[in-house]
Structure 1
Amino acid sequence: MRLEKLETFVVANPPPRHGGRYFIFLRLTTACGITGVGEIYNATFGPNLCTAMAHDVFERQFAGRDPHHIERLWRQTYGAGFTMRPDVTVMGVLSGLEMACWDIIGKAADQPVYQLLGGKVHDRLRSYTYLYPAEGDVYPDPDEPNVYNDADIAAEAAVRAVEQGFTAVKFDPAGPYTVYDGHQPRLSDLDLSEAYCRQIRSAVGDKADLLFGTHGQFTVSGAKRMARRLEAYDPLWFEEPIPPENPADMAEVARYTAIPVAAGERLCTKHEFARLLEAGAASILQMNLGRVGGLLEAKKIASMAETRQAQIAPHLYCGPVVAAANIQIATCSPNFLILESIGRFDGPFMDFLTTPISWEAGFVLPPVSPGLGAELNDAVIAAHPYTGKELHLNMVAEPVNP
């Protein structure tokens, strides 16, 4: 079996744009006609530049090669140009190509990928969702009360999520995150964050876990101040409380609070996650399969986490192909905790695939189809080209002042 062709697609995510402004999909085809799909999660450069990088890597490292040789292809790409370090852009490209190879391998074996990475451990996968505006209120006026700035409205959204079947909800009212972080939380940020936890806990009781999201906003002391405010409401996690560069500093936060620290969406490869585990910085690892280095790398990270009694909660703020890959790794990992979903996987987000993701009463059901269980919808992709100039995500460009 030999890889023959790469196609790439940059698609605009239609309203309500949950998951980001655009997605970068790819498809590999073998000389014998088997196809595999992947997704690149890369927010650093424009998406068309990322697809050009993917074609360059494919021609240098993958074209004409056997897709079964995951380790060889991975190491040759990781070490190309005398690098051998976790470069976030290279790893995004490699992740997309690697997951497409696994899709091909699974189809050739007529097995889901999880069966080839240790076999099914979980028959169903607990999932959570962000708290989004009510249907029909997709773009709330930021100057008006809405789910993102009003704890009472957020509590109403949490009740709706629980009524749908979710047993965990995530929200991030802790204030802006900037290129100058970490910073001290403002008193207003502390007050609003505590109000969110108080109101949502009061609304849902013990029917749902609270997942407190941050984006590396704080200094160590600022994260401690925030954690102290939240502990009374028993969140399941405190997500990325400080910037991800220094695991030793994050470990200081983890030792301070009873709230489990979750982190990892911005990290690449087993090497960066090893430092997180060695420092005791996080007990819940949130690798993103479109950035971390692909499925096999994620399986290695999950295995390392087992040795430290840490769990995995695959991160998803990109497209449905990464969602499909997350499901595969969650299904075969004994230390899986919970899966991020985009609502119930039933909105415009899923139109880019011809294959659904099965979600029932708060759980995702692993697919039984071979490979990743995801096929691109070429007609929908062609109808939604991304023509914008903005990156997938942006941070505030000015410092936060108290």
Structure 2
Amino acid sequence: MKIASLDTHVVAVPPPYIGGMYWIFVELETACGIRGVGEIYSTAFHPTGLVPLIEDVFTRYLEGHDPHRIERFWRAAYSSGFTQRPDPTMMGIVSGLEIACWDIIGKSAGRPVADLLGGVVHEKLRAYTYLYPKNSAGDYDYNDPDLAAEEAVRMVEKGFTALKFDPAGPYTNYSGHQLSLGVMDRCEEFCRKIRAAIGNHADILFGTHGQMVPSSAIRLAKRLEKYDPLWFEEPVPPGQEAAMAEVARATSIPVSTGERLTTKYEFHRVLQEGAASILQMNVARVGGLLEAKKIAGMAEAFYAQVAPHLYNGPIGAAASIQLSAATPNFLIHEAIKDFGDFHGKVLKTKLHFDDGYLIPSREPGLGVELDHEVLRQHTPYRGERLHLQMAVEPADVKTFIAAKG
């Protein structure tokens, strides 16, 4: 079996852009006609710059090769240009192409990918969602704790047993920083009102995205401990595991991290330093399914758990669901509500969500197929914004105090 061709689809996500501004899907086809689909989660460059890189990696390291030889492809791309070090852009590309290879392998074998990654451990997967509260005008409003509490009740009624939110101010190019007293008050108010609204019917997940320096994260964590969050996510910027470990040692709240990390090497440092006990790799960035499986196994030896990150499209979600089903130390999986709306429209059959759980497909491969008619209606992406962007100005205390109101 040999891989013969590549198609890349940059899909524009319609407003309100839940899941990012665009999704990058790749389709591989073998000479014998088996097609596999993958997703690339790469945020640092515009798709017009990324697509030629995808084609370059495909031509150099995958075209004409057997899709079963995952390790060969991974090492060739990881070593490209005499690098042999974690690179989020290269690993994002590798992830999407590698996922598509697994889809082909599963279809060829007539088995779901989970069966090829060690077999199903979890027949259903506990899921959580961010809160997406709307105000009276019908617009999303993420800064109002009362709206967040109302939305939390609605999500619990839909079956979710964990809910995530991030009221800790904007992410800026200059984070981490000290949070203002006003922002810390707002964070505590969110936790207090959501906990009061849902009681012990669901966990609260306090999501931050590297906004803080360690001392600020510790100050905030001490305020939040009484609300017993399941985790305190990425409290400091990625890349300094000892700094995150300083936070982890100072709080009873479990620290989670990983959406911006890639390869087993970066996650090894997190585990070795004791920086986090919950790993949130994104399979569409971390290096693919096999790399994610290795990281999960490494975490198992540290008694750490896995809670895959997913703020992108449904192909990455389908791959991550297959991984999670075969992962003994799986904790919970990120969902974007019930994966309906546009996540469901780009697939011929939407991902299976049932009363707070994601149900892994038992179809061969990833168990999903793209709806090419819908893709044609939403390609190419013509915007200038990247998938996600940070504020360009440093954090300002007065601005943060004003934001509280």
Q: Which residue of 2 aligns with 1:30?
A: 30
Q: Deviations over 1:106-145 (max 9, x none)?
A: 00000000100100000100000000024996534xxxxx
Q: Is the contact made by 2:343 and 2:350 (CA closer than 8 Å) also made in structure 1?
A: no
Distance of 2:161 and 2:126 partners within structure 1 = 8
Distance of 2:135 and 2:313 partners within structure 1 = 21
Q: Is the contact made by 2:21 and 2:388 (CA closer than 8 Å) also made in structure 1?
A: yes
Q: Is the contact made by 1:319 and 1:349 (CA closer than 8 Å) also made in structure 2?
A: yes
2:390 aligned with 1:398: no
2:79 aligned with 1:79: yes
One-letter code of the match for 1:378?
A: H
Distance of 2:368 and 2:78 partners within structure 1 = 26
Distance of 2:223 and 2:186 partners within structure 1 = 10
Distance of 1:287 and 1:265 partners within structure 2 = 5
Q: TM-score, normalised by structure 2?
A: 0.96
Q: Is the contact made by 2:20 and 2:311 (CA closer than 8 Å) also made in structure 1?
A: yes
Q: Is the contact made by 1:99 and 1:325 (CA closer than 8 Å) also made in structure 2?
A: yes
Q: How does 1:228-239 map to 2 (within 5 A)?
A: 228-239=222-233
Distance of 1:330 and 1:310 partners within structure 2 = 14
Q: Which residue of 1 aligns with 2:259?
A: 265
Q: Is the contact made by 1:287 and 1:313 (CA closer than 8 Å) also made in structure 2?
A: yes
Q: Which residue of 1 aligns with 2:401?
A: none
SS state at 1:387 partner:
coil
Structure 1 residues not aligned, in runs of 5+: 141-145
Q: How does 1:351-370 map to 2 (within 5 A)?
A: 351-370=345-364
Q: Which residue among 273, 283, 307 is the counterpart of 2:277?
A: 283
Q: Which residue among 243, 247, 255 is the counterpart of 2:241?
A: 247
Distance of 2:47 and 2:310 partners within structure 1 = 18
Q: Deviations over 1:38-62 (max 9, x none)?
A: 0110110001221211111100000
2:340 aligned with 1:346: yes
Distance of 2:7 and 2:297 partners within structure 1 = 32
Q: Is the contact made by 1:128 and 1:166 (CA closer than 8 Å) also made in structure 2?
A: yes
Q: Is the contact made by 1:312 and 1:335 (CA closer than 8 Å) also made in structure 2?
A: yes
Distance of 2:360 and 2:45 partners within structure 1 = 33
Q: More deviation in 350-359 or 166-175?
A: 350-359
SS state at 2:127 partner:
strand
Distance of 1:332 and 1:137 partners within structure 2 = 43
CA drift at 1:81: 0.6
**How many pairs are equivalent?**
396
Aligned-residue sequence identity (percent) comes to: 59
Q: Is the contact made by 1:355 and 1:373 (CA closer than 8 Å) also made in structure 2?
A: no
SS state at 1:127 partner:
strand
Q: Which residue among 170, 176, 179 is the counterpart of 1:176?
A: 170
Q: Which residue of 1 aligns with 2:95?
A: 95
Structure 2 residues not aligned, in runs of 5+: 398-405
Q: Is the contact made by 1:126 and 1:337 (CA closer than 8 Å) also made in structure 2?
A: yes
Q: TM-score, normalised by structure 1?
A: 0.97
SS state at 1:81 partner:
helix
Q: Is the contact made by 2:38 and 2:98 (CA closer than 8 Å) also made in structure 1?
A: yes
Distance of 2:100 and 2:253 partners within structure 1 = 37
Q: Is the contact made by 2:67 and 2:105 (CA closer than 8 Å) also made in structure 1?
A: yes
Q: How does 1:52-71 map to 2 (within 5 A)?
A: 52-71=52-71
Q: Is the contact made by 1:45 and 1:391 (CA closer than 8 Å) also made in structure 2?
A: yes
Q: Is the contact made by 1:223 and 1:242 (CA closer than 8 Å) also made in structure 2?
A: yes
Q: Closer, same or farther in 2 for the Cα pair 1:136/1:388, shift >3 Å?
A: farther
2:307 aligned with 1:313: yes
Q: Closer, same or farther in 2 for the Cα pair 1:217/1:19, shift >3 Å?
A: same
2:215 aligned with 1:221: yes
Q: Closer, same or farther in 2 for the Cα pair 1:25/1:197, shift >3 Å?
A: same
Q: Deviations over 1:176-231 (max 9, x none)?
A: 11111110011111000000000000000000000000010000000001101100
Q: Which residue among 204, 207, 212 is the counterpart of 1:210?
A: 204
CA drift at 1:14: 1.4
Distance of 2:136 and 2:79 partners within structure 1 = 49
